[in-house]
Structure 1
Amino acid sequence: MVSHVREEADFDAAWRRAEPVPGWLTQAQGRALWDAVGRLGPGALVVEIGSHQGRSTIILGLAARARGARVIAVDAFVDGKLFGGSPTRQRFEANIAAAGLDDVVELVVGYSTKLRPTWDRPIDLLYVDGKHDYWTYTDDLLWSRHLPADAEILVHDCYSSIGVTLGTIAKILFGSRYTYVDRAGSLARFALRRPTTKDRLRVLRELPWFARNVVIKVLLRLRLRPVARVLGHDEPYDPY
């Protein structure tokens, strides 16, 4: 009981550190990342694909420090209004430094799809939050080749992005390599093991929630927030 209370307090402190950093990770999703790292052993290596300003990286990094693990943050920091380019990288590096994680988090700048074919380091946990199109996402799943059997893969926006959800249908529902475990909002957790029929059915049961999210996104684009509220979404932002 004492250990559980301490873990709760540690996560609460980590979330207070991460929450001010701009990003789309919710507290429940941060807890899912924290718990996933907590299941690793000393010396483990976590790879995060897509770090933005470091909100999720801080959670991963603080959890990794508690376990004697390390984090590799992979991000291309593409220029443009959507991603922010070098200013976003500077904010990421400043946020990691402010959290005291320079000795835990290693930044690798580059496209995940270009880095993957030559990657040669074993990893123990994979967190995917990179580009959300079908082709990039399904390529990012191939980083799992460096994971041991039964290792975990966490995917953000899994049931709120059309490209990521299509990739999940193709590679998880109809694939034979990954098993769906659970989700926190749109952050889904998979295990690297062959799925059963029951596992595949659990993926199917999430699709109505995905359809709801797509409808909400359309309503927000059309500035129909009152209609979105009828579906239980009372925020100006997309569902995460």
Structure 2
Amino acid sequence: MNSEPGVDTADFAKAWSYADCVPGWLTRDQAVALWDAVRRLGKGARVVEIGSHQGRSTIVLGFAARSVGVTVTAIDPFVDGKLFGGSVTRQRFERNIATARLDDVVELVVGYSTKLRPEWGDSIDLLYIDGKHDYWTYTDDLKWSAHLPSGGEILVHDCFSSVGVTSGTLIKVFTGSKYTYLDRAGSLARFALRRPGRRDRLRLLAQMPWFLRNVWLKVLLRLRLRPVARLFGHDSPYDPY
């Protein structure tokens, strides 16, 4: 994170104080990665977030966007049901954004990213993907990168803790020619829209043991074997992310 006194550090602390009150899986280190990505943008840029839930990551993006004159478009269908919450989740999202006073920076678009993408006509400058984690939806969400400039950044949450997202990354990034793996904060990976070299592919491949560990931990948690999971360094009832 940029450590410019009194500006970036203080602003991020304020953003995180709001975001950390919102339920979700984004860690502080991952929030820093989002913050820094937005801060690298120029004035007038647009961030697109796919999958907002109650707004934990949106708040971080929104505060960072305001600090550099950027806007955020948050896309979420707010599907009904126990898992996602539907209209109740949308109400919480809108309340959280209003509480953080980010209504003027964050635009909410309600709908499925896969249905909105073919009709999208605007350029974007940063893409954050945290939508449905199956292979087909994730790889379709990657197609939003067609609206990014060359070298534009794509951040993907749960990239190395979801079978669907990881398999999509291996097929579209490791074996593809459009995306370059840069780094990660936990399971949040950062890519650039540019042709990868051999070293880039090897750096991505080097993340696979960590992914396999996460899958193994998920199996242990599903089997209610938390004591065994602790032996592998995971002392939490929740999935690694």
For Structure 1 versus Structure 2, the TM-score category normalised by the shorter chain is over 0.9
| Cα distance per residue 1:49-82 (max 9 Å; x no partner) | 0000000000000000001000000000000111
User: What is the aligned-residue identity percentage?
Assistant: 72
Distance 1:12 1:52 in 2: 22
Using the TM superposition, give the Cα deviation of residue 6 of structure 1 relative to its aligned residue in structure 2, in angstroms: 2.9
Distance 2:70 2:5 in 1: 20
Task: Give the 3-state SS of the residue equivalent to 2:4 in structure 1.
Answer: helix
AA at the equivalent of 1:21: V
Give the TM-score taking structure 1 as reference length.
0.98
Cross-structure match for 2:92: 91
Distance 2:13 2:166 in 1: 30
Cross-structure match for 2:57: 56
Task: Give the 3-state SS of the residue equivalent to 1:43 in structure 2.
Answer: coil
Task: Give the 3-state SS of the residue equivalent to 2:25 in structure 1.
Answer: coil
| Cα distance per residue 1:141-182 (max 9 Å; x no partner) | 000000000000000000000000000000000000000000
Cross-structure match for 1:30: 31
RMSD (CA atoms): 1.0
Using the TM superposition, give the Cα deviation of residue 5 of structure 1 relative to its aligned residue in structure 2, in angstroms: 5.5
> Does structure 1 residue 44 correspond to structure 2 residue 45?
yes
- Within a 5 Å distance, the mapping from 1:1-240 to structure 2 comes to 3-4=4-5, 6-240=7-241
Distance 1:2 1:177 in 2: 32
**Structure 1 unmatched ranges of 5 or more:** none
Using the TM superposition, give the Cα deviation of residue 2 of structure 1 relative to its aligned residue in structure 2, in angstroms: 7.1
**Structure 2 unmatched ranges of 5 or more:** none
Task: Give the 3-state SS of the residue equivalent to 1:3 in structure 2.
Answer: coil
Distance 1:88 1:219 in 2: 30
Distance 2:7 2:72 in 1: 22
| Cα distance per residue 1:172-203 (max 9 Å; x no partner) | 00000000000000000000000000000011
Distance 1:104 1:159 in 2: 30
Distance 1:175 1:142 in 2: 13
Give the TM-score taking structure 2 as reference length.
0.98
Distance 2:204 2:161 in 1: 14
Distance 2:215 2:52 in 1: 24
